[in-house]
Structure 1
Amino acid sequence: MMTRKVFYRLLPTFVLAVLLWAGCSGAREATQEAALLPQAQDSSVVAVLDGEAITLSDIERRYRRSLGGNSAAVPDSAELRDFLDRYINFRLKVKAAEDAGIGDLPEIQEEIDTYRLQLARPYMLEQEVLEPIIREVYTRSQDMVDASHILIRVAPDASPADTLEAYNMIRALVDSVKAGADFGELALRYSEDPSASREGPGYKGRLGFFTAGQMVAPFEDAAYNTPVGQVSDIVRTRFGYHILYVHDRQPAIPDIEVAHIMIIPRGPTGADTAAALEQIEELRRRFENGEDFRALAREYSMDHNTREQGGRLGIMSFNNPVIPPEFRDAAFAIENPGEISDVVQSRFGFHLIYLIDRKERKPYEEAYEDLKTQVTRLPRTEQAQRAFARQARARYGVTVDTAQVRAVLHTFPADTIIAHLAVNDFDALFEDTTFATIGDAGYTLSDFFAFAKTQRLERNRPLEPQLMAALDAFLDDRALDYEAMRLQERDEEFRTLMEEFRDGLLLFRVMEDSVWNAASRDSVGLRAYFDAHAEAYRFPDRTRLIGFYSRDDSLLTDIAARLDAGATVADIQALVASDSTLSLRIDTTLVAGPTNSVYDEALSLEAGSHTDVLAYRNGHVLLLHDGIEPARPKTFEEARSEVVTAYQEVLEQRLLERLRKRYALYVFPERLEQAFAGHAAAAAPAGDSPTG
C-alpha cells in the first residue's frame, strides 16, 4: 500500500490518474425535478452535486489540463462526458470526506499547514523574485554588447573618505574622456582591473561581447542602457566605481557545437611551424576526401583533453571571453553542420574546426528552467530576495529587542556561544524568551540561535557584528515565511493549488480507509473474489532458467565447462558448498516471455543448453535453460497481489454507488456540446494538476 509520505510527493500525478482512469457509474440525467433547481437555470452548469454547481468552464479547464494543453483538448462529446463522470466520482469522494469531518482533523490541518509553508515560500519567491529577473535576462540576452570599462576599486564598506577619493578619481577620468582622451589608454594607465594592463581579454579595458547574466547587475544595466559610441554614467558595484564605453551592440548569435583538431609546432623554429602547418593542411585534405573527422581527431589531434572524444569541444558561445577571437570567428563563420573551417592559427597552435550543430534560440517557456538555474546563482537574485524581504518587514511591521541579544553576549564568552551553537544545545536555553515580532507572530531567542547556527560564525572575528548580521538575516527569513503563510489570501493561483492539495488529502484518506486498507483487511471477501474468478489467475508456460552469478568471469567459464562435461546443477551446488572461496550465487527464475533483459539470451535455447558468460550488472552471469514449466492455475497466495488490486476496484465501485445514493446528483450532458467553442479557451500550463 502507498504510504502517505510517498502519496504527498505524487499527489498531482495521483489526482490526474483518478480523473483519467477512475471507474465511472451513471449519474441521474436531468429530470423535471432537476429543471427546478436554481443552478439548472444557468446554461453553463453541467452538473449539480448536493446543491453545488459544476460549471462547463470547470470541466473545460480540468479536461484541458489532463491532456496537457488546449491543443489536445478536442471537443469529443463521448470523451468529455466520460471525463465529467470521472470528475464527479472524484468530487463525491471529497464530499464524503468533508462531511465525515476529515478535513478538520488536526493531522490533516497540520499536513496542510506544512505543505503550505513548503510550497508557498518557493512559489512566492519564484513569482516575486525569480520570474522578473528571468524575464529580464531572457529579453536582454537577445542582444550582446561589446564594451570597455575602467575600474577604480573601493570596498562596499569603505570609509566615507576612501569612497570620496575613489569617486573623485573616476569623475576625473570621465572628464578626461569627454575632453577627448582615448578610453583604452586611460584604462591601461588607471584602471584597477588587472586585466586592463596585460595582453588578452580585458586589455585596455576591452571586455569584448557579453550578454545578460554575465556581469553584475549594475554593470549590466549600464552596458545595456548606454548608446553605442558613448560613455556611461558612473556605476557603483561591489568592486568599486566603473565607467563604460560601448563599442557595439548586436543581435546575439546562437550557440554552436564544435569539434577541432589541433596541431602544435614541435619547436620554436620556422621549420617547426611550417611542418605543423603542412600536417594540418594534409588532415584538411583527407577530410575533404571523405575521411571521418572524429577518427582523424582521435589519431592526430594534440589536444589531449578532447582527442578521445573525437575532438569534441561541446557548446560554444560567441561571447565566451576564454575562446581566442580568431578561433571563435572561424568557428561561427562555418555555414553548415558537417563542414570545417580553413586552417586557423591561435596562440595554442593550428586548428581545423568542425561544426557539429547550430543551436536555435529557445522560446521563453522552453528556456525557462535553464534560465532559472542560471538566475538562481546570480548575486542580483540574492539582492532582490533581500529587498523583497525588507518590503515584507515594512508591510507587516517588525519589533526587535536587540538588547536581549547583547545581554547574551555579555553573559557568555564568545567562544562559549560558538561552541554551544556547534553542538545544537545553546538555543534550548531561551525557548520562552520572546524578543522579536513580525505582524502578529512572535519569535524567541531560541528561534534566533537555532537560525544563527546555520550562519557559520567565525571564532577569529568579533562576535557581536556577526550576530547582528545574523539577526538581520533571521528577520528577513522570518518575514519571508510570514508573507508566504499569507500567500493563499492574495494569490488565486496559489489558493487553487492549496485547494487541490487539500482535496487530494481528503481523497487519499477516503481511498485509504474505504478501498485500499479495506481490501487488504477483508480476507473473507478476497477469498470469495478469488474463488469466483479463479480462472482469471493462471501462470502461462514459463521457461525455467538457472542463473549462475559471479563477479569472476573465469569461474563462470569453468562452470560452463563442467556443465558441458555432464555436471548437474546439484554437482555445481555441492562444489560451491565444499569450497568457501568460490563466490557464486545460484538461483532459479521462471520467465513467461521476452523481458528485454539478459534472460532473453536463454529463451531460444534447447533445454539443457546454456548461454555464454554474459555481463550482468556489476558482474557476470551464465544462464542454463532448465526446461518448461507448464501452464497452471495460480494458488490464492500466488495471485494475492492481483486479487487485492481487482478487489479494490470492486470496493471502489461499491463506495461510489453508496455515495451516489447519498447525495443528490443531476447531470446536464447536452450542455457539454458547448465545450471548447471555437477552441478559444487559453491553454493551461502542462503539468498542472487537473483539479486546479
Structure 2
Amino acid sequence: MKKLVVAIVLCFSSIVFSQKKDKVLLTIDGDKTTISEFKRVYEKNLDAIDNEEAKDVQKNLDLFINYKLKVKEAYKIKLDTLPSYVKEMEGYKNQLAAPYLQDTSYVNKLVKDAYYRTKNEIKAKHILVRTPRIATPKDTLQAYNKITEIRDRIVNGEPFEKVAEETSEDPSARDDEKSGRKGNQGNLGYFSAFKMVYPFEEAAYNTKVGQVSKPFRTRFGYHILKVDSIRPSKGEVEVAHILLTKETKNAKQLIDSIYNRLEKDEQFKALARKYSNDTGSKSKGGKLRKFGTGVMVKSFEDVAFSLEKEGEYSKPFQTRFGWHIVQLIKKHPVPTFEDLKTDLKSRVKSGARAQLSEKAVVNKLKKQYTISENKNAKEIFDNKKIRDIAKDSLQAVILSINEKEITQEAFVDFIKNRKNKSVYDLFEDFKDQEILAYYKENLEKTEPEYAYTLQEYKDGLLLFELMQQKIWEKSSKDTLGLKKYYNSNISAYNNKEFKKVKGQVMNDYQNHLEKNWIADLRNKSAIEVNKKQLKKLIKHYNK
C-alpha cells in the first residue's frame, strides 16, 4: 500500500525552482505554485492517460490542489518528525544519492575496459614483495625500494624466472620440498577480467608484451610483472568427465577399458555414473560447471578446449588428480558487448572498481571545494594510543571542507575499529569519506533533479501516514459509521446483505470520508487560482 501511495505521489508532487519569468498559477495560504511546476507534474502524466476527460487541465489542477492541501496538513501536524518517517527517509536519501556518487563516464570506461579484457586474455609472470597488514610509511618505503632493486636486475639482463625464484615472496614461485610441488617461477598463465585483484589486472593490461611493468601496489604488497603474450579469449566450455583417482587400483587399465567401451557407442553418462570417482559430478553423468581459462589445471583445460564437436570425447589423459576422459557438451564464445554490457556494469559497480568510480567523484570534488588540514591537530597521529585519547582532548579542528569543520574526535571515531592500515592511510580514507558526506549533505542545493525526486518521496511518505490516520484507520475502526453509510446507501448495493458487499462498502466509505475531509481542508484554506494563466494553459494544451 505504501509503495502504491508513493508511486501516485510521484505523479502529483513537485518542488519549486524559481525562474524570473515564471508566472504564478496557484496560491494556497500564501504558498505559491508556478506554471512550470504544475506543467511538470501534468506533462509527466500525459503519456499514461488514455482518455481525453482525464487529460482535462482544470480537473488535473483540482487534483493537484487536493494533493497540496493534504501534504500541507501533514507538515502542519508534524508527521515529518515521526521516528519511523525519519528513518525511512534516510534510506530513500541514500538510495537516491547513490547514482550521484558514481562518475558515469568513468563507469562506462571501466565497463568497456572490462569487455576488452574479457575478449582478450593475457599471459604474465610476477614478483611480489609483501608489506605488513598495517604498513607504516617506513614499511612501504622499504618494500618499494626492494622491488625497485629487483626490477633493476631484470632490466639489466637477468632472467625474470630466475630472479622470481630467488626473490619473490609469493610462495608459489619456489619449489616446496615438503609437498614436492614445483614452483611456477612467477608464471601465472593466462587470465582475463575479474580474475585478479583490480590493480594487478590494470597493470598487466597496461604493460606491453615483452616489457616489465613499473612497481605497483596491491593489498598484498608491491609487484612487478612481465607480459608474455595476449590472445583472443577462448570463452568458456562446458564438459563432462570421468575421473579415476590415483588411488584407483589398475587405474590406467580401467580408464583404457572405459575408453574402449565409449568407442563401442556406450553412453558417456552411464559410464561416468558407474565408474567416475568425482563424487560432485558422477550423479550428473560427469557434467561440470562451464569454465574459462585459468580455472582448471592446465592439462585438463588444454584437452577440454581442444575438443571441437559437441559429444566428442578425448583419449584418456593424466593430471595430478588421476586419469580422465573428457566429453564436450558445449562451447560458449564471449558474447557481444551489448549482450554482456548489463552484467559487466553490475560487476563493475559491485566490485573493487566501484571504489575507483567513487574516487573519481572525490577527485573532482577536491578541485571544487576548499579543503584544508590542520597540521597541529594531526600531531595526534604520532600517539601510539590514539584510539584511547579522551574525547575532551580531541576537539581541535583537523579538517575543513568549505565552511564545514571536522574535529579530531570524528577522525578517532572513524579509526576506532579500523586497524588494517596505518593512521596516515586511514586519514586519507577519512578525508574522502567526509568529502562525499559533505557532497551528499548539499545534494539538494547542487542537483535540482535529486532535490525534486527527494521531495516527491518526502511528500509521498507523508501522504501515506496522513491517509492512514485520517481515512484508512478511521474507516476500519468506525464500524458504526460504516454501517450507517451502508444503510443510507443500501439501494446502491441492490439491497444486498452487508457482509456480501462489505469490501465495496468499505471502499465507498473511504472515498466518502476523503471527499468530506478535502472539502473541510478547502474551507479552511485561502486558495487563489490565476484564471488568466489557467486559460492560457488550457489553450496551450488544447492545441
TM-score in terms of structure 1 length:
0.58
Write the distance in 1 (CA, Å) between the matches of 2:226 and 2:206. 11
Spell out the pairing of 1:364-379 with structure 2 (5 A cutoff): 367-368=341-342, 371-373=345-347, 376-378=350-352
Residue 246 of structure 1: SS of its match in structure 2? strand
Are the equivalent residues in 2 in contact too, given 1:264–1:276 (CA < 8 A)?
no
| 1:315 aligned onto 2:290 | yes
In structure 2, the partner of 1:52 is 35
Residue 323 of structure 1 deviates from its aligned partner by 0.7
Does residue 1:647 correspond to 2:521, yes or no? no
**1:474 and 2:430 correspond:** yes
1:215 aligns with 2:196: yes
Given the superposition, is the C-alpha separation of residues 54 and 203 from structure 1 closer, same or farther in structure 2, using an over 3 Å criterion?
Answer: same
Q: Deviations over 1:572-601 (max 9, x none)?
A: xxxxxxxxxxxxxxxxxxxxxxxxxxxxxx
Q: What residue identity is the alignment partner of 1:323?
A: M
Q: 1:304 Cα deviation (Å)?
A: 1.3
Residues 124/656 of structure 1: CA separation in 2 closer, same or farther (3 Å cut) = same
Partner of 1:609 in structure 2?
none
Deviation of the 1:302 alpha carbon: 1.0
Are 2:118 and 2:334, in contact at CA under 8 Å, matched by a contact in 1? no
- Matched-pair contact (CA < 8 Å) for 1:174–1:243: no
Number of residue equivalences: 503
Q: Is the 8 A contact 2:245 2:251 kept in 1?
A: no
For residues 331 and 259 of structure 1, the distance between their equivalents in structure 2, rounded to whole angstroms, comes to 9
Question: Contact conserved, 1:256 with 1:356, CA < 8 A, in 2?
Answer: yes
Asked if structure 2 preserves the Cα contact closer than 8 Å seen for 1:170 and 1:241, the reply is no
Separation of aligned partners in 1, 2:274 and 2:124: 42
Structure 2 counterpart of 1:301: 276
In 1, Cα distance between equivalents of 2:305 and 2:51: 51
Please give the alpha-carbon distance, in whole angstroms, between the structure 1 residues aligned to 2:536 and 2:480: 37
Shift of 1:247: 1.3
**Aligned alpha-carbon RMSD (Å):** 5.1
Distance 1:481 1:377 in 2: 21
Q: Over residues 518-565 of structure 1, what are the superposed CA-to-partner deviations in whole Å (9 max), with x where a residue is unaligned? A: 434544432134444599699xxxxxxxxxxxxxxxxxxxxxxxxxxx
What's the secondary structure of 1:361's corresponding residue? coil
Q: Tell me, what secondary structure is at the counterpart of 1:209?
A: strand
The one-letter code of the counterpart of 1:237 is R
Q: How does 1:546-585 map to 2 (within 5 A)?
A: none
Alignment of 1:276 onto 2:255? yes
Offset at residue 303 of structure 1 (A): 0.3
Secondary structure of 1:123's counterpart equals helix
Tell me, yes or no, if the aligned pair for 1:121 and 1:480 is still in contact at 8 Å: no
| Alignment partner of 1:331 is 2:310 | no
| Matches of 1:398 and 1:666, distance apart in 2 | 52
Mapped partners of 1:672, 1:335: distance in 2:
65
Mapped to 2, the partners of 1:59 and 1:254 lie a distance apart of 50
Q: Match of 2:18?
A: none
Structure 2: distance between partners of 1:80 and 1:336: 61
Deviations 1:171-215 (A, max 9, x none): 231232xxxx76556655665544344599983443222222333
**Which AA in structure 2 matches 1:455?**
R
Name 1:552's counterpart in structure 2. Answer: none
Q: Is the 8 A contact 1:144 1:209 kept in 2?
A: no
Secondary structure in structure 2 of the residue aligned to 1:231:
coil
Match of 2:314 among 313, 337, 342: 342
Unaligned 5+ segments in structure 2 are 13-21, 26-31
- Aligned 8 A contact 1:89 1:656 in 2: no
Matches within 5 A, 1:481-520: 481-520=437-476
* 1:599-652, Cα deviation, whole Å (9 max, x unpaired): xxxxxxxxxxxxxxxxxxxxxxxxxxxxxxxxx95649xx76764344324445
2:224 to 235, 242, 246: 242
Secondary structure of 1:515's counterpart equals helix
Among candidates 97, 115, 118, match of residue 94 of structure 2: 118
**One-letter amino acid matched to 1:236:** F
Contact persistence 2:119–2:334 (CA under 8 A): no
- Conserved? CA contact 2:381–2:423, under 8 Å: no
- Code of the residue aligned with 1:242 in structure 2: it is I
- Report if the CA contact (8 A) 2:9-2:460 is conserved: no
Provide the residue aligned with 2:17 in structure 1.
none
Quote the Cα distance in structure 2 between the aligned partners of 1:219 and 1:359.
25
Amino acid at match of 1:139: Y
What is the Cα deviation at residue 131 of structure 1?
2.7
Paired amino acid for 1:439:
N
Q: Name the CA distance, whole Å, in 1 between partners of 2:381 and 2:167.
A: 48
Give the distance between the partners of 1:204 and 1:314, measured in 2 at CA. 30
- Contact kept, 8 Å, 1:112 with 1:501, in 2: the verdict is no
How many angstroms apart in 2 are the aligned matches of 1:336 and 1:650? 72
1:112, 1:666 → 2: CA distance? 41
